[in-house]
Amino acid sequence: MMNIADKVTFEIQNELRELIGEVSAKGVFNGYGIFHKKLMFGLYQDNHFYLRGVGKLAIYLEEQGAISYMEHTDTPAIYGDNYYLLTEKIRQNKKLYKSLVLWSIEQVESEQKKKALSKEGSIKNLINLSIKHERLLHKIDVDSVETFFEVGPAHCYIELRKRGFSVNLAFFWSLTAAYLNKHFTLLTQEEKDNALELLNDLLANEGMRQVNLIKD
């Protein structure tokens, strides 16, 4: 039998499953948290879906017309300051919608990983990475493990390319695997597909050449 949370969020769960697969809901204060593999990336309240976003994602959402949860609802919850109501234009653009949801999930995952890693640790000590990676990331002001997890592998890769550094797909996989705290040979096809899709969407937004699996 379907529980109350699933009944209330039935439509938004179906909408999101078409984009990212597994989705679940759980009651949180006066709304419902939307989860992907135990990572809460969305909030559903009063028939509205709010996507979680911090840093660059939050800025991008605001630029696209998304409204802060705290401004939109009459009964805001204290934990809702990082959630945004997406425009219909975004939700109708399935490719963009999916990339934003994946970006949000990536941010939540990185925050969890940061808690498990020492903030004083060196980038070169992360799995797959070396002094070479640390020096390159230093060029784009990514000087700590904490900053690396805040920025994410896709944005690091793009910023390095924008500044003229020669980085290839193997470099990106090393960053991605370090971000997921696993050896690069253990990346699943789904993890690679999601990471590459996000990277190419962000490259397209920057007007840059997308990564070609064969050539790169």
CATH number of the domain residue 156 falls in: 1.10.150.20
Give the end of a domain, one of 91, 109, 138: 91
pTM of the model: 0.60
CA-wise closest residue to 53 among 40, 36, 38, 71: 40
What total of structural domains would you count in the chain? 2
Q: What is the largest CA-CA distance in the chain?
A: 56
- Does the residue 79 lie in any domain? yes
Is the pLDDT score of 189 beyond 60? yes
One domain, residues 78 and 146? no
Distance CA 134, CA 122 (A): 8
- Does the residue 136 lie in any domain? yes
- Does the residue 67 lie in any domain? yes
Q: What is the DSSP letter of 152?
A: -
- CATH label of the domain that carries residue 57: 3.30.1460.30
One domain, residues 8 and 58? yes
**Interior angle at CA 165, CA 127 and CA 210, nearest 5:** 85
- Does the residue 104 lie in any domain? no
One domain, residues 86 and 26? yes
One domain, residues 86 and 16? yes
One domain, residues 74 and 128? no
Is the pLDDT score of 99 beyond 60? yes
One domain, residues 82 and 130? no
3-state class (DSSP) for residue 26:
strand
What pLDDT does residue 129 have? 94
What pLDDT does residue 111 have? 83
What pLDDT does residue 215 have? 44
- Does the residue 210 lie in any domain? no
What pLDDT does residue 144 have? 87
One domain, residues 83 and 130? no
Distance CA 56, CA 142 (A): 15
One domain, residues 87 and 125? no
- The boundaries of the domain holding residue 56 are 4-91
Find the mean pLDDT for residues 45-69: 94
- DSSP H/E element including 179: helix 169-179
- Does the residue 112 lie in any domain? no
User: Of residues 42 and 147, which shows the higher confidence score?
Assistant: 42
What pLDDT does residue 81 have? 82
- Does the residue 184 lie in any domain? yes
What pLDDT does residue 78 have? 60
- Does the residue 111 lie in any domain? no
Confidence of residue 118 (pLDDT cuts 50, 70, 90): low
One domain, residues 70 and 123? no
Q: What is the mean pLDDT of the chain?
A: 89
Specify which residues 33 forms β-bridges with: 26, 43
One domain, residues 87 and 11? yes
